[in-house]
Every structure is written in structure tokens, then in C-alpha cells.
Amino acid sequence: MDKLKFYIDGAWVEPAGAATAGVTNPATEETVGRISLGSAADVDRAARAARRAFASYSATSVEQRLGWLRGIIDGFRARLPELARTMTLEMGAPITFSTERQATVALFHFEEAARVLAGFPFEERMGPGIVRHEPIGVCGLITPWNWPLNQVASKVAPAMSTGCTVVLKPSEIAPLSAMILAEIIHDSGLPAGVFNLVNGDGPTVGEALASHPEIDLVSFTGSTGAGIRVATLAAPTVKRVAQELGGKSANIILQDADIRASVMAGVHACYTNAGQNCQSPTRMLVHVSQREAAFDAARAAVATIRLGDPMQPETTLGPLVSQGQFDKVQKLIQSGIDEGATLVAGGLGRPAEINRGYYVHPTVFGDVTRQMTIAREEIFGPVLSILAYDTEDEAIDIANDTPFGLAGFIQSGDPDHALKLAKRIRAGRVYLNGAPFDRSLPFGGYKQSGNGREFGIYGFREYLEVKAVLGYPG
């Protein structure tokens, strides 16, 4: 699965340098492919190709762009099993999850972009003038490894639909599925230079994209620290910056909810994608009177998890993505123990029956206080913290006591009461009573979870400038 070329200006080209990196299967710790590591020179070549293409592509019709989108959608559907298997190999998601979620939700973003594009009002009469929505220009897209194709599609699809051209840098940890997408895009007949892909690491390729004068917008998904760095590099050229960053979402279980069902569902939601989710409900808030019931339900939920080979359909929890992520999660589990939290389930080390791969025990801590490290830092692993509250006001205060604000969750027998509390949570999304994730509604964060929105019409608007035209007769 070696993918050593970059996709620039409609062709697969040799990189400027000779540096390469291996892609590791986190379930076996074996190298499954290699990519080239790009340089600032590769970014410059791609950005200039995107700039040349923008002049004509931005003037294409909605019908033309819909035609290319349909070609990408058809190609994606044809190669969906291959894409799912590739993501399982490169980042460890169980194959059932890769097929039903990782790959299919990425496809949805192209389908949603086509739906929005077909009816989007690019020009509107407003009072004495006309308001136009025009493509912002060349977009630098930097995506993470945890949802390697979903995050690519959520940026590429609306950017190209609006008439922008793009330079994509997928994560160097899980880049192989994005390379297949580049092949699909090439086969769709999209004009040369509209889509470009350069692999590489953040300090080299990512920073070159963020600072490049030909890039008009940089959209970044990743850690808050890296997001700050991207914004700093983007500032001298006053480019637009859209960020989807870290999270530490609270799941408030009210006293009128079914405590056992709510806790079990909350554990599984926390462990989705091995806990490597920015919006995971990693802080579970339960009433002080329901401590024991919550602990019992959490243990029962952990007992249903099937940890193992991600290529087997019965596996529900795969490995973490890398040795570095494994070490980080182990350190945070140790901090929970050291700081006095009660270990309800799981704990340190790798499961005894598994002798290779970056697997961790699905872990639950109880009696966690809001000052503990595990209650404040984004763990990005299957580690749940259960905190107690006495009043609903205290629960809201705990939920908002974080520098993050990506999502919130509320479980209640009274939807109206749940909605009332949802309005008090400082987060970009709030899920009531196990509502499913929806990719047509806006997604993004408050506070240090980022700025801007992705998905649906709100994600579409991120790639558009607004122009007022005055004096044209009505």
C-alpha cells in the first residue's frame, strides 16, 4: 500500500524531497504502507496550481459542479468496501464500524454537499442591492487521523461545491484512505488543479499551508494547541481560519432518567471509535444519590464490549491509533489513580490476552472531582469519568467548567426540561436523550473548541465571501 506520489494539478507527481514515513497498523504494530513526506516546496507547487485553477473553476455553473460531485459519489460508493478496510488497517477502527460509520458518513458529506448546492441562493436581492455569495478562493485543508475520511470529506465537499479550489493535507498517521479518495476525484473528471493533495507532517506541510500567501482560507481539525499555531501562522496574511478543536463534553443524567439505561448508553457513546472522538461524552454527571447504581451500570456496559482484532466483525473496540496515543492514555489513567478517583472498571496496561497492538482496557473512573486531570484534559481514549452533582444548577456549572465547548448531552424523562437545561450549556451541540449524530446540522465549538461550523448549509457558508452590489435597478 505504498503511496509515494502527491496529487497536484490533475496528476500524480514525484515529491520535491526523498523523505518517507511508514503507516502502521495499530492492531499489529506492522507497517502496512509508506508515504512521502512533503515540504514547503510541494505546498507551494500545489497552492499555485490551485490558484491557477480557481479563475476558471470559480466561474463554473452549479450544474457543472453537481456533475462532478455525482461522479465522486458514484466512485465512492463503488470503492466503499476498500475505503473501509483501508481505514481499519491505518487507524484501527473495527471493520463493522469502518463500513457503517467511517466510510458511509464520509460519503454522506458529498451527498449533502450536492443537496445544498442544488438549492443554494448564491445571489439574493436585499433591499436596494444585491447580495452575492462567492467562493473565497484557495483553501488549505488540514485533517486528523481519528476520522480520516469523514473529516476530509466534510471540508473537501463543501469547498469544491462552492467553487473553491483546495490543497489537502491528510494526517500522516492515517493517510491511505485519502489517497484513494484522490483517485476517485481524479476519475470524476474534475478539472486539473481544483483538488490537490500533499502528504506530510504538521510542522512542515501543515505550517506551510497555514502561512502560504496563496491560501485564502485554512480549515483545521485537531488539537487546540495545534489550532492556536495554525491561527498564529495565518494571521500575517489575514486569511480566514476555521477550526474544529478539542472537547471535554459533559453527559448530565437527571434524576428522572432511567439511570441504568442512560449510564450504559453513555459508556458506549464515550467509547465510540475507541474514545478517539472530539465530542465524546467523557464526563458523566450523576446525582449523588445514584452513585452505586451508576457504577453498577457502568461495569455492566464494559462487560459487553468486545475488544480484539478490528478485522473481525464481532469486535466493538479496537486499538488506539499509535504508541504515542497509548502512552498518553496510560499516563492519564495513572493520574486518575494517583489523584484519588475510584477505579470502577479497567485500568492500566494492555489486556492480558492481547500480546501486540495499542490496545487499552476500557476504563471507568468514579468519584471524580472537577479539579482532577482526567476531568479537565482531553484523553482521546476509552476512559470515562463519573462526577457527582447535588443540584441541577451545580450540574450545569460543572458541565461549563471547562475551556472546551464542543458538545453536551442531557438525559431526562422530560424533553421540555432537558431543552431548558440545554440552552444553558456553553457548547456548539447538545444531544437530548441519546439523539443520533446528524451531519446536516451545524457542527463546531464554543471557546477553545474552535470557531466556524461544518456540515450542511453552515459548513457550505464557511467557504463563501459575501459581496454587496448597490445601484443595480430592481
Which residues are designated catalytic?
Answer: 244, 278
406 close to 445: Cβ distance less than 8 angstroms: yes
Residue 320: which residues within 8 A CB-CB, separation 6 or more? 26, 92, 274, 276, 326, 329, 358, 359, 360, 381
User: Measured in Å, how far apart are the chain's first and last C-alpha atoms?
Assistant: 58
If you compute the radius of gyration of the chain from its CA atoms, what whole number of angstroms results?
Answer: 23
**Helix (H, G, I), strand (E, B), or coil: what is residue 121?**
coil
Q: In angstroms, what CA-CA distances link 26 with 85, 223, 278?
A: 13, 21, 20
Sequence-distant (6+) residues with CB within 8 A of 91 are: 26, 145, 146, 148, 173, 174, 321
- If one counts every other C-beta atom within 10 angstroms of the C-beta of residue 129, the result is 15
Tell me if 77 sits within 8 A of 420, measured CB to CB: no
d(CA 352, CA 316): 18
| Cell of residue 256, nine digits | 428522572
